[in-house]
Structure 1
Amino acid sequence: MKRAGTAVITAAAALALAHPSSATAATTTAWTVPTCNRVVGDGAVTFTTDEGANLAGTSGTLKPVSYTHGLVALGAGNTLLATRNSELQRSTDAGCSWTHAATLGSESARLTAGTGTRAFAWEPNGGYLARVDGTTVTRLTAPVAAVVGLGTDPVDPAHVRLAGGDGRLYDSRNAGATWTVTGTPAFPEGTGVYSVTFDPTDPDHAVAGAMVRGGAVTTDGGATWTASTGLSSGPANLFGTAVSPADPSVVYGIGVDLAEAVPGSGNEGRHLFRSADGGRTFAKILDDTAEHKLTNSTLLAPSPSDPNVLHFEYGTYFMGYGTDLFRLDAGTGVITKTHNAFDGVSAIAFNPVRPSVMYLGVEEVGTPS
């Protein structure tokens, strides 16, 4: 889906890009591409129009220690949210300027977009949970001590689904005010669950990753789960997954084949995986190498317009290395790499009118000043 010649798109169409069935839930405000060359803000968010070869400058310089864990483009026109440490920031001009919106009760909150101006902030493996409506933040009570994933419903703004570290899904029909446990656990009791990723077009479809037991997928909202195959001939760790917004049958994952993870194995069994059947069956598509470094927490950002394209990163402050941004085309096997001086890129969002515009939430670790 090419949008390069389009300058303006209604929010209804923008939301439909990420949530094809939700065009009627959006406002009529328009999304545009950024019209600035420099981002006004503290430096937590920048953008690139050439997949990382060049980054827009910022008026402020990010100071250590700063992590931008959450970053989403919303259905409301030109509106984005970001979390830097405990601060919630907001942009209403397609990412050209950012202002303080609120202080959150978490230093590492992620964001999941809802419809319109709504989003949810949640802390991985923690209990922090909040709803964001415009500039209003409402603290919510999580039904579990550890949240490992959260998904929203593109056709019902009040419907939200949460995944707990106990391997179960929890459902809310009142925007997170109350919760009901649903279905059965994804894994046997006592299994360490790393993450649960929800399909942005359908909250009934989710992929779970766990310690030793690998992955599991549900397409009925957690009523039943099917164990994923293809991760290993034996046990596997599946740390994180990402469902393609362009085609929900495509799922990417980062994990370790524990049958390969023996001393001296080089990549220690760490691979990038891809599924073409919604997470039921995975295949290895990239090994951890010195050229294409993978970690347990590698950020996976599938293209919203091409299910074959995945963006991922490797960054570290050690010896001033900086960050590599990768673009992998699973159809051709071609990988390209760009580099920047930030200590990491911890969040990626795409401009809804032109997905080639990527917003980057960056981090600066170094030594605190």
Structure 2
Amino acid sequence: MKRTGSAVTAAAAAFVLAQSPSAVAADAPAWTVPTCARVTGDGAVTYTTDDGASLAPTTGTLKPVSYTHGLVALDTPDTLLATRNSELQRSTDAGCTWTRVATLGSGSTRLTAAPGGRAFAWEMSGGYLARVDGRTVTRLTAPTANIVGVGTDRARPGHVRLAGGDGQLFDSTDGGASWRAVGIRAFGGGTAVYSVAFDPADPDHAVAGGMARGGAVTTDGGATWTSSTGLSGTAGGAANLFQAAVSPADPSVVHALGIDLVEAAPGSGSEGRHLYRSTDGGRTFVKTVDHSPRTKLTNGTLLAPSPSDANVLYFAYGTYYQDHGTDLFRLDAATGKVTTTHNAYDGISAIAFNPARPTVLYLGVEEVRVD
């Protein structure tokens, strides 16, 4: 077994924030920043203040096989939720202490935060859906057995939007108790949709990723969809867009992960895999990072855009194979520079940002290997 925190640098033993309280944004919730030298919990979540150069150690050693696919900071001060396998965990002290809240009906559950301290737990490419209010988990009936995205509405607490794997959007105005189909299917139907990313500030704005069809964007809640361009270097060329992430700092900026199928020929150094960036809400994309031995990309690479800088995107690559561990990357699109830090975990499944100080990153980690 490994990792109670010692493997992620000795500097974490005196883990304290150096930034001043004056750096807290005026419009941020009444959050604080974690000052604990050690995170109390089973090891599923840690945090970093230096882009992963050092991680806060944890009191518990994460046991295999563990995935922390869900991790969100709520608008309730100092409150976060996380999902490790089928377990829902909660912290009310800015990520210093984690306790079990409930057992969920899925072993691979993501989380989407909603207004009023609420969140929705859902299974990617599955039908599990639940609403979390405080410590209460309410199982919901999803309108599809293949959920590929969930968005919430800051202006309307009961308003939730959900996407199915055929590109159909569904709307609820009662917190997920009932649903109705809205708009038309992305790509006109008939195309498998990998994921739909909703704008955290406006659920009418969403970007769908399709098989061979690339991307499509809507700004009117699915009433119309516009095909994305730039995902293939060949005009009209096919591309897979696996996932996208709309920047919380600027909704016109969208980061995406995909494969240029024209470029993905045998012997291609990048294998056609790229990160892309759009500055017009997802209508047109340009390549920002190529798959390479230094910046490895997979079909499921985690994308986490900074909530304070639309140029900054965090992504990760991790594996237990040959004790590789995990590389946490930070892309600054303004300069094109990618910086890398490394840790001994088998992977990072989710990233959340402290609302008061976004330079504090919470990491949901993986333990896959059995020693």
Question: TM-score, structure 2 length as denominator?
Answer: 0.93
Structure richer in strand, relative to its length: 1
Matched AA of 1:13: D
Q: Which residue of 2 aligns with 1:171?
A: 171
Question: Superposition pairs for residues 308-319 of structure 1, below 5 Å?
Answer: 308-319=311-322
Aligned mates of 1:347, 1:35 — CA distance in 2: 21
Q: SS state of the match for residue 187, structure 1?
A: helix
Q: What is the SS of the residue equivalent to 1:77?
A: coil
Alignment match, 2:27: 13
Q: Deviations over 1:313-366 (max 9, x none)?
A: 010011110000011100011111000000000100000000000000000000
Counterparts in 2 of 1:282 and 1:352: CA distance versus 1, 3 Å: same
Runs of 4+ displaced beyond 2 Å = 3-10, 12-15
2:105 — aligned with what? 105
Tell me how large the CA RMSD over aligned residues is. Answer: 1.4
Tell me by how many angstroms 1:35 deviates: 1.6
In structure 1, the partner of 2:4 is none
Tell me the TM-score normalized by structure 1.
Answer: 0.93
- CA distance in structure 2 between the aligned counterparts of 1:256 and 1:310, rounded to whole angstroms: 18
Q: Distance in 2 between matches of 1:159 and 1:197?
A: 16
What does 1:1-369 align with in structure 2 at a 5 Å threshold?
A: 4-6=19-21, 13-14=27-28, 30-232=30-232, 233=234, 234-367=237-370
What amino acid does structure 1 have at the position aligned with 2:98? Answer: W
Looking at structure 1, the residues matched to 256 and 209 of structure 2 have their Cα atoms a distance apart, in angstroms, of 9
SS in 2 for 1:113: strand
Give the secondary-structure state (helix, strand or coil) at the position aligned to 1:319.
helix
Following the alignment from structure 1 to structure 2, what is the Cα–Cα distance between the partners of residues 7 and 92?
22
Q: 1:253 corresponds to which letter in structure 2?
A: A
Change (3 A) 1:252 1:8: closer
The answer as to whether partners of 1:6 and 1:353 remain within 8 angstroms in 2 is: no
Secondary structure of 2:28's match? helix
Letter in structure 2 aligned against 1:208: A
Mapped to 2, the partners of 1:94 and 1:35 lie a distance apart of 9
**Contact 2:23/2:357, CA 8 A, preserved across alignment:** no
Q: Is the 8 A contact 1:241 1:253 kept in 2?
A: yes
CA distance in 2, matches of 1:122, 1:13: 29
CA deviations on 1:138-167 (whole Å, 9 max, x unpaired) are 000000110000000001110000000111
Alpha-carbon contact 1:7-1:353 (below 8 Å) kept? no
Distance 1:281 1:245, change over 3 A: same
* Most deviating of 246-255 and 189-198: 189-198
The alpha-carbon deviation at position 192 of structure 1 amounts to 1.1
> Is the contact between residue 44 and residue 361 of structure 1 (CA under 8 Å) also seen in structure 2?
yes
* Counterpart residue type for residue 250 of structure 1: V
Q: Which runs of 5+ in 1 are unaligned?
A: 16-29
Code of the aligned partner of 1:249: S
Secondary structure of the structure 1 residue equivalent to 2:188: coil
Check the 8 A contact 1:193/1:211 in 2, yes or no.
yes
Separation of aligned partners in 1, 2:136 and 2:23:
28
Code of the residue aligned with 2:292 in structure 1: it is T
C-alpha distance in 1, partners of 2:24/2:31?
Answer: 5
SS in 2 for 1:65: coil
Q: Deviations over 1:215-263 (max 9, x none)?
A: 0000000000000000012000000110000000000000000000111
Output the amino acid matched with 1:42.
D
Counterpart in 2 of 1:25?
none
Higher mean C-alpha displacement, 315-324 vs 186-195: 186-195
Return 5+ residue gaps in structure 2 as ranges.
1-17
Identity %: 72
State how far apart, in whole Å, the 1-side matches of 2:116 and 2:338 are: 35
